[in-house]
Each structure stands twice: as structure tokens, then as C-alpha cells.
Amino acid sequence: MSNSRFVTRSALVNVMSLAVEKASRGLLRDFGEIENLQVSQKGAGDFVTVADRKAEQILIYELQKARPHFSIYSEESGLIEGINPDHRWIIDPLDGTSNFMHGIPHFAITVALEFKSEIIAAVTYDPVKDELFWSEKGRGSYLNQRRLRVSSRRSLDEVLVGVHSCHGKERDPNFENKVAKITSQVLGVRRMGVTSLDLAYVACGRLDVVFDQNMNLWDYAAGILLVQEAGGSVSSLFEESSPLQTNSIIAANPLVYKEFRTFLL
């Protein structure tokens, strides 16, 4: 990740960027030797790799070193309480574990900083493509050194929609009905398996809409700010409230947000 010649990242974003960059090195090494990767299974369709755990340890170490008083909430370690209860890192060391396990080069490391129930800084890093999506409240969203804006498509038949949903036997028929309902109305539906990158792609205009439910906070916390600071609309899927409290999300460019949400519900 090269430093921007046009945009100066804050000390806070630099801390987050350094942490994900260091954590990514082991992931890339293990991804290159996928046939030798050790795997343990912790639930239906939910795999944890040795690489995942190592990346988490690096993230936690780097973030605690820079901001020792902040709390940390992670997929593998749960809540690590700091003496500053108002600031909380929300981290996922490997979003897209299934892709990783199958040798598909589409996964990410994501870190968000929550302050009093609001996301104020976010980083999502795709180490394979060397794409660093980052944002800070009031300062916009960026892909490496480029300022991001959501797409300007206005019609549902022009939009690409990203969805993820549950795995295997946990699949929700009601959610699948929603996906089927919108498939015939939009240009296309993409299920790429990495919610954090889906949301980053809305922020940069590669996708126009993302919606999902029954998610984990670490999958989408960073994406909330990335989309908002790129000019997008974000809410819970079922009500006009913050996704942080509902574990569901719809994120879209504002030109199609209301129409899509109304149609979906």
C-alpha cells in the first residue's frame, strides 16, 4: 500500500492501515499454499483457518500497541474490554473465509472504530488486489489515493445488486424469496461472499445496492461509513434505523435507495 500523494491520512487511519497491512502478509503466504492450510470447523459452513487466527493476533497486537485503552470486538476473540469504554475497534481478520479456503482470490481484512455507537473510521483491505478502502467521518471515503463516490444510476433495471445471506442449511427461505423477487427487476445480482467488499464496492460505484440480514457486526461495520462518506444511503433493511442495532443492512446510491427498499419490502 503506497501512501497517497494527494490525500493525507490521519494518524488514526494510518494506525488502522498499518495493522491490516501487517495482518495481510500471513494471509497472502497461506493463500499461496492453500493445499497445506490447516482448517478447523466451528459450525455449519463456518470455517476458521490457522491463517485467520494469526491475522487476528497481529491486528489485535498492532491496534492495542497504538491505542492501548480502546476495547476490541473480534470474530474469534469476542470482546476484549479496554479502560476506555467509548472507543471500540470492530475487526474481522478474514472476511470471505470460504473463498479463501477454495483458493478464490476475493477476501478482505476489515477494521472499524466505533465511538459511542457511531462508526467514525473504517478500513477494508483487499490484499490480493492491494486495494485499501478507507474513510473517516467528515473526510470522505477513498480507495488508496482516489476519492470515492457512489454510482449515479437511477433505474432499477440498470443496477447491480450484491447479496450474501446465510450458508447452507441456515439459508432463510424468506430472504431467498426477496432475492428472487428483485432478480427479474435489476441488471444482475452478485453473490461474491464478502460483505465488507460488497459495501466497499457500493462506495466506489462497482455495485449500486447491497442488502443482507442476520449478519455479524464485524462484517459490515466499516462498510457503513465507507458508503455514507461516499454519498450513499445506509439503513437497517426493515426499518429506518442504524444497522448497528439490527444486524441487517441496505446500502445504495441515493437515487435508487428508496425505490429499491420499497420494492424489496
Question: pLDDT class for 171, splitting at 50, 70, 90?
Answer: low
Radius of gyration of the chain (CA): 18
Say whether 260 sits in a helix, a strand or coil.
helix
Q: Tell me if the pTM is above 0.85.
A: yes
Parallel/antiparallel/unpaired status of strands 70-74 and 78-80: antiparallel
Question: pLDDT class for 79, splitting at 50, 70, 90?
Answer: very high
Cell digits of residue 156: 432499477
Q: 32-62 burial, b for 16+ CB within 10 Å, e for fewer?
A: eeeeeeeeeeeeeeebbbebbbbbbbbbbeb
* Calpha distance 69→213 (Å, rounded): 32
| Residue among 84, 79, 91, 81 at smallest CA distance from 116 | 84
Question: pLDDT class for 164, splitting at 50, 70, 90?
Answer: confident
Three-state secondary structure readout of 41-55: EEECCEEEEHHHHHH
User: Between vectors from CA 108 to CA 33 and to CA 137, what angle results, nearest 5°?
Assistant: 155
Q: Tell me how crowded residue 76 is: count the other CB atoms within 10 A of its CB.
A: 17
Helix and strand counts by DSSP (H, E) for the chain: 7, 15
**With DSSP H G I counted as helix, E B as strand and the rest as coil, what are the percentages for the chain, rounded to 5?**
35, 30, 35
For 11-147, CATH gives 3.30.540.10
- Please report the pLDDT score of residue 127 as a whole number: 98
Question: What are the φ/ψ torsions at residue 209 (nearest 5 degrees)?
Answer: -145, 145
* Calpha distance 40→34 (Å, rounded): 14
Q: Can you tell me the mean pLDDT for 82-98?
A: 95
Cell digits of residue 145: 489515493
Say whether 156 sits in a helix, a strand or coil.
helix
- Please report the pLDDT score of residue 44 as a whole number: 40
Q: pLDDT, tens digit, for every residue of 191-249?
A: 999 999 999 999 999 999 999 988 899 999 999 999 999 999 999 988 878 899 888 99
- Please report the pLDDT score of residue 1 as a whole number: 46
* DSSP state for residue 204 in the 8-state scheme: H
| Residue among 62, 109, 67, 69 at smallest CA distance from 85 | 69
Instruction: Parse the chain into domains and list their residue ranges.
Output: 11-147, 156-264
Task: Confirm if 213 and 247 have CB atoms less than 8 A apart.
Answer: yes
Please state, in angstroms and as integers, the Cα–Cα distance from residue 37 to each residue in 28, 83, 104, 125, 192, following that order. Answer: 12, 37, 14, 22, 22
For 156-264, CATH gives 3.40.190.80
